[in-house]
C-alpha cells in the first residue's frame, strides 16, 4: 500500500509540475529574468506551493504518524550553517543557468526532453561527487 500511495503522490506531483510549466526551462528562465521580459506566472505556482506547505506542516507538527500509519520524522534542526548556504547558492546557480531543479528535471526527462538528460546526468555526477567528498 505504501508503494502505491508513493507512486500516486509522485504522479500527481509530476503532473502538477507539467501543468504549471515548471518543467519548461524557458518559462523558469523567464521568471528569473527580472530586468528583461519577466514572466511572473511561476510566482503564483510557488505561492500556492508555499500556502499548501504551510498548512501541511502545521498539521504534520501535531502528528507522530503519517496518514498510512508510518513514522513521521520531521527535521529537528533549524540551524543555518555554511554547508546550507553553499548548497543553497549552488542550487540557485544551477536553477538559474539550466532552468531546471531536480524534481522538474526528472519529470522533463520522463517526458522526453533532451535538455533534461544533460541536467540529470550532471546532477547525478554532483551527487556522487558529494558522497565521495563526505566520506573523506
Q: How long, in residues, is the chain?
A: 136
For the segment 10-28, what is each residue's pLDDT rounded down to a tens digit? Answer: 899 889 888 888 888 888 8
Question: What's the pLDDT at 119?
Answer: 92
**What is the 3-class SS of the chain, one letter each residue?**
CHHHHHHHHHHHHHHHHHHHCCCCHHHHHHHHCCCCCCCCHHHHHHHHHHHHHHHHHHHHCCCCECCCCCECCCCCCCCCCHHHHHHHHHHHHHHHHHCCCHHHHHHHHHCCCHHHHHHHHHHHHHHHHHHHHHHC
What was the pLDDT predicted at 116?
A: 92
Domain boundaries, the chain: 2-135
Please give the pLDDT value at position 85: 95
Q: Say what the pLDDT of residue 118 is.
A: 92
Q: What parts of the chain have a pLDDT lower than 70?
A: none
Q: What is the pLDDT of residue 18?
A: 87
C-alpha–C-alpha distance, residues 103 and 107, integer Å: 6
- What pLDDT is stored for residue 78 in this prediction? 87
**For residue 105, what pLDDT is reported?**
92
Amino acid at each position: 500500500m505504501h508503494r502505491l500511495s508513493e507512486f500516486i503522490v509522485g504522479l500527481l506531483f509530476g503532473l502538477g509540475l507539467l501543468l504549471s510549466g515548471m518543467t519548461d526551462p524557458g518559462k523558469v528562465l523567464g521568471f528569473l529574468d527580472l530586468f528583461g521580459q519577466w514572466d511572473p506566472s511561476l510566482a503564483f505556482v510557488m505561492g500556492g506551493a508555499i500556502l499548501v506547505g504551510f498548512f501541511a506542516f502545521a498539521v504534520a507538527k501535531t502528528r507522530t504518524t503519517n496518514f498510512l500509519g508510518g513514522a513521521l520524522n520531521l527535521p529537528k534542526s533549524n540551524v543555518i550553517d555554511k554547508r546550507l548556504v553553499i548548497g543553497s547558492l549552488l542550487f540557485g546557480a544551477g536553477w538559474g543557468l539550466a532552468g531546471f531543479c531536480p524534481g522538474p528535471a526528472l519529470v522533463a526527462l520522463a517526458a522526453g526532453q533532451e535538455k533534461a538528460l544533460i541536467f540529470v546526468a550532471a546532477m547525478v555526477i554532483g551527487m556522487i561527487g558529494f558522497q565521495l567528498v563526505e566520506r573523506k
